[in-house]
Structure 1
Amino acid sequence: MAQEAPTPAPAPAPATPAPAPEQIVAGLSRDNIGITTSFDGSQILIYGAVKREAPEPDDEKLAVIVTLEGPLGPVTIRRKSREFGIWVNTASVGVAAAPSYYAVATSGPMDEILPPRVDTQQRISIPLAMRAFSGPLEVEDSKPFTEALLRIRERQGLYEMETGGVHIVDNTLFRADFDLPANLTEGDYKTRIFLLRGGKLVDQYQSAIEVRKVGLERWLYTLAHQQAALYGLLSLALAVFAGWAAAAIFRFVR
């Protein structure tokens, strides 16, 4: 008599990871920003609390880092040199993706609360926020090029580092304020919160802020990108009308 094969035992269910002893509960003062013709910047408040499942450790200091990152885009950094009395581009370095805006706020000095290993893994500091280079490098040392990009965007208010910008109350509540410049790029802005204790990453939180052109600004942007021919004709008609109006006013004044 044929014997039935034994029924295989069911595979054990994957173990559910234990919750972090401390977790971030956070929110934003607003999750969208409208760019209009009169837009001159905005302010974002990022706030939250630390949820604990056990008593707070006494021997390790709590630290919080908050980052706000704009849309990524390729950037080419060029170096000019004087050749035969003329300034020309002699070398360039391409960055595959650099944030259009990047701000970091910390509860303490970065070199004291953020280990290099965690910074490398999470790309928290401003220099590491830029992604890999695009294409082969044509220069021996790329550091002066990336440093130049950082200086330019810092002067434009697009890259900011604020030590002490995160305020912690009773080791539980925290907040960080970001002043956004007027020259924002449209897109989705990513905010990240990192909770560290004793140099170890305990928990992290991520959310998004939508930045979009609205009103007349949005209509012109959409027209220029989706109906370029019509946009060109309207621009030409506006230029002709402006020239005619200026000539008419000049004749009237004379």
Structure 2
Amino acid sequence: MIRLIIALFLLCKPVHAAQEQVVLGLSQDRVSITADFDGSEILIFGAVKREAPIPDGPPLEVIVSVVGPSEPVTVRRKERRFGIWVNTDSILVDLAPSFYAVATSAPFSQVLTNTEDLRHRVSIGRAIRSVGADMNVEGAQNFAEAVIRIRENEGLYSIRENTVAVDEQTLFRTSIDMPADLTEGDYLARIFLTRAGQVVSQFETTIDVRKVGLERFLYNMSRQQPVWYGLMSLVIAISAGWGASTAFRLLREK
């Protein structure tokens, strides 16, 4: 009897989750940071693979997110004391992405329910993990909101609604602008297919962001040989100052 009930349950489950899958493409899966790097645009496109006709009911929606490497961030609160601004409270945000962009095919509230957002951590607020704070610190959540607000102003965090084009509930495409001051590492690209706010399929891939050429050499030296890096920087600064002084003196003599 129990086996019969389980079999009936499996037969009654919606099958569109297994029938709709993402087939993804990227304009580039590697971003090279050079000395003259001023940003990049990643074109993300794909199709929906089906084993059955398009299901009836709510239309298919698409969410695309690109997440940069995460790291702890210490946020401090400043208050005016005795005529000067001083740090009073501080909170460690456990993990905050260095870059976070979300593109949707419709308003965010329509493409994903709060429950699904909580499960998959898609919105910016959900992407930042819980805040570690002393119980005596008031308004702890405001510190995480401050991180979001600052990085939104810097162009590092963004939610772009209605920017994913979906054709015939099968083909989709969008572009993600990546700023010049990218953090090096693996960027996770996630694609969600949803119906009525429920995730029916998802796909993940990575975009490799690395420094190359002279930028790579200087970065490695600053981390692996800081003493030599400091000496080299000092020599370059002295040489540049001497060269500028000599050129200025020659110009005056003429």
Per the normalisation by structure 2, the TM-score is: 0.89
- SS at 1:220's partner residue? helix
1:190 Cα offset (Å): 0.2
> Within 5 A, what are the aligned runs for 1:204-219?
204-219=202-217
Match of 1:82 in 2: 80
Q: Deviations over 1:8-65 (max 9, x none)?
A: xxxxxxxxx9970211111111110000110000010111111111121221221110
Structure 2 residue corresponding to 1:27, chosen from 25, 28, 34: 25
Which amino acid is the alignment partner of residue 99 of structure 1? P
Give unmatched runs, 5+ long, in structure 1.
Answer: 1-16
Contact 2:113 / 2:197 at 8 angstroms: preserved in 1?
yes
Selected match of 1:228 from 226, 235, 238: 226
| Partners of 2:145 and 2:176 in 1: CA distance | 23
Structure 2 unaligned spans of 5+: 1-14
Of 106, 118, 121, which aligns to 1:120? 118
The equivalent of 2:180 in structure 1 is 182
Question: CA–CA distance in 2 between the matches of 1:36 and 1:138?
Answer: 46
Q: Answer whether contact 2:31 2:208 (CA < 8 A) is retained.
A: yes
Greater Cα shift, 138-147 or 49-58: 138-147
Which residue in 2 is equivalent to 1:107?
105
**CA deviation after TM superposition for structure 1 residue 249, in Å:** 2.5
Distance 1:96 1:232, change over 3 A: same
Q: For residue 131 of structure 2, give the secondary structure of its aligned residue in structure 1.
A: coil
- The one-letter code sitting in structure 1 at the alignment partner of 2:196 is G
Contact 1:93 1:137 in 2 (8 A): no
Please name the residue that 1:167 is paired with: 165
Cα distance between partner residues in 2 of 1:164 and 1:19:
23
3-state SS of paired residue (1:20)? helix
Change (3 A) 1:136 1:90: closer
The amino acid across from 2:209 in the alignment is V
Which is worse superposed, 48-57 or 186-195? Answer: 48-57
Matched residue of 1:222: which SS?
Answer: helix
In the alignment, what sits opposite 1:58? Answer: 56
Measured after TM superposition, the shift of residue 244 of structure 1 is 1.8
2:194 corresponds to which of 196, 218, 239? 196
CA shift at 1:165, angstroms?
1.2
Q: Which amino acid aligns with 1:203?
A: S
Larger mean Cα displacement after TM superposition, 101-110 or 242-251? 242-251
What is the root-mean-square deviation in Å for CA atoms of aligned residues? 1.7
Q: Distance in 2 between matches of 1:74 and 1:134?
A: 10
Q: Cα gap change, 1:137/1:235 in structure 2, threshold over 3 Å: closer, same or farther? A: farther
Structure with the largest fraction of helix = 2
**Which residue is 1:41 aligned to?**
39
Partner AA of 2:123 in structure 1: S
Q: Percent identity?
A: 53
Question: 1:183-226 CA deviation, whole Å, 9 max, x = no partner?
Answer: 11111000000011122211100000000001111111111111
Q: Which residue of 2 aligns with 1:133?
A: 131
CA contact (8 A) 1:92 1:138 kept: no
Q: Do 2:131 and 2:144's aligned partners in 1 also have CA atoms closer than 8 Å?
A: no
User: Number of residues paired by the alignment?
Assistant: 238
Residue of structure 2 equivalent to 1:246? 244
Q: Check conservation: 1:67, 1:103, Cα contact below 8 A.
A: yes
SS at match of 1:78: strand
CA gap 1:104/1:76 in 2 versus in 1, 3 angstroms:
same
